[in-house]
Structure 1
Amino acid sequence: MRELLEAVADGSLSPTAAEAELRGYVTEEAGRFDATRDRRRGIPEGIFAEGKSASQVIALAETALETTGRALLTRVSDSQFNALEAHLDETVPEATIDRRSTTVRVTTSSSDSPSLDATVGIATGGTVDGPVADEAELVCVDAGATVDRVDDIGVAALSRTLDQLDRFREADVLIVVAGREGALPTVIAGLVDTPVIGVPVSSGYGHAGNGEAALAGMLQSCTVLSVVNIDAGFVAGAQATLIARAIDTARD
Structure 2
Amino acid sequence: MERKHIEQLLENVAAGKLKVKDAVSKLETLPFEDIGFASIDNHRNIRSGYPEVIFCQGKTCEQVAEIMLKLSKDNNNVMGTRADKQQYEAVKEVLPDAVYFKEARIILFSRNPRIKEKGYIAVVSAGTADIPVAEEAALTAEILGNTVERVYDVGVAGIHRLFAKLDLIRSANVVIVVAGMEGALASVVGGMVDRPVVAVPTSIGYGSNLGGLSALLSMLNSCANGVGVVNIDNGFGAGYLAAIINRQK
After the TM superposition, which residues 85-96 of structure 1 pair with which residues of structure 2 at under 5 Å, given as runs? 85-89=92-96, 95-96=97-98
Q: Tell me by how many angstroms 1:114 deviates.
A: 2.0
Q: Does 1:104 align with 2:111?
A: no
Distance in 1, Cα, partners of 2:19 & 2:68 = 21
Distance in 2, Cα, partners of 1:24 & 1:134 = 32
Cα contact 1:173–1:240 (8 A) shared by 2: yes
Q: Tell me by how many angstroms 1:83 deviates.
A: 2.0
* Cα displacement string for residues 8-40 of structure 1 (whole angstroms, at most 9, x for unaligned residues): 6787x895x5544xx332221331222232331
Q: Relative to 1, partners in 2 of residues 1:119 and 1:131: Cα closer, same or farther, differing over 3 Å?
A: same
Q: What SS does the corresponding residue of 2:69 show, helix, strand or coil?
A: helix
Q: What SS does the corresponding residue of 1:51 show, helix, strand or coil?
A: coil
Q: Tell me by how many angstroms 1:136 deviates.
A: 1.3
Which residue identity does 1:57 align to in structure 2?
Answer: V
Which residue identity does 1:223 align to in structure 2?
Answer: A
What is the match of residue 50 of structure 1?
Answer: 57
**RMSD between aligned alpha carbons?**
2.4
Cα contact 2:51–2:77 (8 A) shared by 1: no
Distance in 2, Cα, partners of 1:8 & 1:119 = 42
Q: Relative to 1, partners in 2 of residues 1:187 and 1:119: Cα closer, same or farther, differing over 3 Å?
A: same
Q: Does 1:124 align with 2:125?
A: yes
After the TM superposition, which residues 169-248 of structure 1 pair with which residues of structure 2 at under 5 Å, given as runs? 169-224=170-225, 225-247=227-249
* Cα displacement string for residues 158-189 of structure 1 (whole angstroms, at most 9, x for unaligned residues): 11111110001100000010111111111111
Distance in 2, Cα, partners of 1:88 & 1:96 = 6
Cα contact 1:203–1:209 (8 A) shared by 2: no
Q: What SS does the corresponding residue of 2:211 show, helix, strand or coil?
A: coil
Distance in 2, Cα, partners of 1:238 & 1:145 = 10
What is the match of residue 136 of structure 1?
Answer: 137
* Cα displacement string for residues 177-233 of structure 1 (whole angstroms, at most 9, x for unaligned residues): 011111111111111111100000011111233000000000011102000111111
Q: Tell me by how many angstroms 1:115 deviates.
A: 1.9
Q: Tell me by how many angstroms 1:58 deviates.
A: 0.2
Cα contact 2:116–2:145 (8 A) shared by 1: yes
Which residue identity does 2:150 align to in structure 1?
Answer: R
Gaps of at least 5 residues in structure 1 are 90-94, 248-252
Which residue identity does 1:143 align to in structure 2?
Answer: L
Higher mean alpha-carbon deviation, 52-61 vs 121-130, is at 121-130
Gaps of at least 5 residues in structure 2 are 1-8
Distance in 2, Cα, partners of 1:156 & 1:150 = 15
Distance in 2, Cα, partners of 1:170 & 1:87 = 41
Cα contact 1:30–1:60 (8 A) shared by 2: no
* Cα displacement string for residues 34-71 of structure 1 (whole angstroms, at most 9, x for unaligned residues): 22323312333210000000000001100111121221
Q: Output the TM-score relative to the length of structure 1.
A: 0.85
Q: Relative to 1, partners in 2 of residues 1:244 and 1:152: Cα closer, same or farther, differing over 3 Å?
A: same
Distance in 2, Cα, partners of 1:187 & 1:44 = 34
Number of residues of Structure 1 aligned to a counterpart in Structure 2: 236
Q: Relative to 1, partners in 2 of residues 1:14 and 1:55: Cα closer, same or farther, differing over 3 Å?
A: farther
Cα contact 1:34–1:45 (8 A) shared by 2: yes
Cα contact 1:30–1:59 (8 A) shared by 2: no
What is the match of residue 162 of structure 1?
Answer: 163
Q: Output the TM-score relative to the length of structure 2.
A: 0.86
* Cα displacement string for residues 75-121 of structure 1 (whole angstroms, at most 9, x for unaligned residues): 001211122223322xxxxx35252521122112xx46322113110
Of residues 30, 46, 52, the one that matches 1:39 is 46
What is the match of residue 250 of structure 1?
Answer: none
What is the match of residue 62 of structure 1?
Answer: 69
Distance in 1, Cα, partners of 2:206 & 2:19 = 57
Q: Relative to 1, partners in 2 of residues 1:202 and 1:8: Cα closer, same or farther, differing over 3 Å?
A: farther
